[in-house]
A and B are shown apart, each in its own frame.
Chain A
Amino acid sequence: MNITIEDLKKVRFFDHYTDDQLKIFIGISSIKEFKVKDVLFEQYDELKEIYVLLSGCLSLGISIAKEKRIRLGTLEDGQLFSWSAVFNPYISTAWVMATCPTKVLAIDAKKLTHEFEKNCEFGFKTMSKIAQTVSHRLSDTRFQLMNQLTL
């Protein structure tokens, strides 16, 4: 399945990218589809792709024991996830599962970091967006923690 620059322009994560920068994403990405209850990756899996949710619904959580999944959140269209794929040791900190038919853009993480080295402006912009995603996740987790501590 092919994706076009116009398709990416409709996705929130790709706001503020130039057409040339969007072409870079297209060259190193593919579209993947998942059915209900498909697990995109497990906690502690080695990650090779970074994902952007195009459509559908995904749950994200952690496992405290085998078969015991705790759902911590859901992802919305246009959100980036599996950011651990671009940071050493490239190990997932959570599991992600489809809860309805879902389509994601899977970006090859190795090729993406190679593009960062070739094109610093593209690299800075993308790493800033990834950092913002991680920052929001951290802030939301602190919010959840404070909710628990102040019960």
Chain B
Amino acid sequence: MQDKRNIYTPLRAILTDVIEESPSIKTFVLVPEDKFAFKTGQFIELSVDGVGEAPFTPSSSPLVTEKLEVTVMKTGYVTEYMHMLKPGVFMGIRGPYGRGYPVETFFGKEVLILGGGCGLAPIRSLLYTLESIKDKLLKVILCYGSKTAADCIYKPLFDRLNSTEKFEAYRTVDKADEDWDGSVGVATTLLNMINININNSVAVVCGPPVMMKFGTIRLLEMGYSDDQIYLSMEKNMSCGLGKCGHCMMGEFFVCRDGPVFTYNEIKHNPEIWK
């Protein structure tokens, strides 16, 4: 049904709920007028009439086609407007676009996921997918860092994962207040506490560019090869089609060829961490 639509015409979706995840991050629950399917890691263009559109990777399960959740950090004009929206308004969805996670290549392996800040949004969609195929995986470990405890999104997710067979979830904060009794330090410090068979695992990194850079360096130090590390280059996503050129990264158009790449595919690009 998506194929017959003009590629620039959005699918209408009603906003049914807005969940405040942190002081600057909200999750928008949308019910599209048609079923909307995507693969985990693929992204969409979410628009507000008369305001504009921006690219986001859905944070909901790809197995659910009647409802879509998109987690949005307030960073600019469009996202600030989105944060003022109330349930009942219509929004537009274009997509899905790009290449998601090749989860079938994770079968029989341990999966290490390193996330930071709002990067947990696409990771949550991946986690839903991995939960649905957990019989084919050996282990899934999530290591997540946020600036403060208040900035941590999807807080109930961690307890749920830790009570799910084959899943482990750890979180840390850069800056702790008196009430925080968990780990303190950047996301990479969590890698000191995990047990993983690196030779039979893949690593997924998603978060702010600084975290992705230091996270990738630490994974390489741990013994991961360039092909075992998957990076989601969310910051480069633009029009969704690879036509506007803003997503160009070396030989790749992130909108078309990504946003998920192995480190091996993009490591020679000097723009990778910018």
Contact = CB atoms under 8 A, between A and B. Distances in A.
Interface of A: 59, 71-74, 76-79, 99, 136, 139-140, 142-144, 146-147, 150
Interface centre among B147, B176, B188, B192 (most CB of A within 10 A): B192
Contacts, number: 53
A129 B181 CA distance: 28
Interface residues of B, number: 20
A139 B176 contact: no
Interface in B166-223: 172, 174, 176, 181-186, 188-189, 192-193, 208, 210-211, 214, 217-218
Interface of B: 147, 172, 174, 176, 181-186, 188-189, 192-193, 208, 210-211, 214, 217-218
Nearest to B194: A76
A72 B186 CA distance: 9
Contact of B210 (A74, A78, A99, A146): A146
| Chain A contact surface mostly | mixed
A144 B174 contact: yes
B192 to A, nearest CB: 5
Contacts of B182: 74
B210 A150 contact: yes
Contact of A140 (B181, B189, B208): B189
B184 A76 contact: no
A73 B189 contact: yes
Contact of A59 (B184, B210, B211): B184
A136 B218 CA distance: 8
